[in-house]
Amino acid sequence: MAVVTAHADDFTIFAGGTIAKMIGEGYTAHLIRITNDEKDSQDLSLAETISRNARELRKAADAIGIQEIYSLNFRNDEMDPVPETEVRQKLMLLFRKLKPWTLFTFDPSAKYEENPDHKKTARAAEDAAWNSAGHLAEPEQLALGLEKWAVLDRYYWARSLDDSDVNKVVDISGTIDQKIRAVQQHKTMMNHTAHQLKEKLAEANLRLPLLDTIDETTVNQFIDIRLRERAAAQGAKHGMKYAEVFHYIPIESEGGYVMRNVVPR
């Protein structure tokens, strides 16, 4: 599988349990990170932010069981001037090199997504999966010896998916601990998240006692509580303890003529 993540922490937060479970079942996963996460720290310099987030990403990927990481290093939150076709071209090159059956990424149709990097990543990844199968699309890649490649199925995650768009529910009760450990590796990003929340609450004259002191212990606790709460809420709707939900696009419509008649080659 190819996992296309805008930021270092998206794939662990939204799909880490499912990806870890599928790796346990035999999948090989390659991670493609679109941005350099240069702005995601509480008080570090830009260079230090980039370097720590990259190091912590490697640890998070190890916790999930992901082998290769390809970072495209577009500037975090500065992607507006970057043509989407430039991102698409790089993703097509990687799809044609890695030949993934399965794509994990943001849902390009998700409503109320606020993050500009998430939106651009979603559109470019879908577009790349669409075009990498064509012999007339980016033909210079084929001239280099790569082959056209059709991604077979796709798992789209979103910050909040409408229940009517959820058509794949994955029981992650067996991998929730692994997912939490992976998210806890993004120490710089999670520390920033905790501070941002605390500052926002303070503006509203509120405080969360757990975050009165922000350190590794309280941040890890906060991550544990939040991720279990989200996974339990999603699981409760489907009779599972912990779940992740996706909009899933299969190889061909399930139960349709093609899937009823295909045979092993």
The residues of the shown chain that bind Zn ion, judged by CB under 5 A, are 6-7, 10
Query: Residue 253, CB half-sphere, CA atoms under 13 Å: how many?
Result: 3
Supply the minimum distance, in Å, between the C-beta of residue 6 and Zn ion. Answer: 5
Supply the minimum distance, in Å, between the C-beta of residue 13 and Zn ion. Answer: 8
* CB nearer to Zn ion: pick between 11 and 222: 11
* CB nearer to Zn ion: pick between 7 and 30: 7
DSSP calls for 72-92: EEEPTT--TTS-HHHHHHHHH
Supply the minimum distance, in Å, between the C-beta of residue 167 and Zn ion. Answer: 23
3-state secondary structure 198-262: HHHHHHCCCCCHHHCCCCHHHHHHHHHHHHHHHHHHHHHCCCCCCEEEEEEECCCCCCCHHHHHC
* CB nearer to Zn ion: pick between 33 and 88: 33
* CB nearer to Zn ion: pick between 28 and 116: 116
* CB nearer to Zn ion: pick between 6 and 169: 6
Neighbours of 58 (CB within 10 A): 14
Supply the minimum distance, in Å, between the C-beta of residue 83 and Zn ion. Answer: 21
Supply the minimum distance, in Å, between the C-beta of residue 159 and Zn ion. Answer: 9
Tokens of 133: 């199968």
Residue number closest to Zn ion, CB atom: 7
Distance CA 92, CA 72 (A): 12
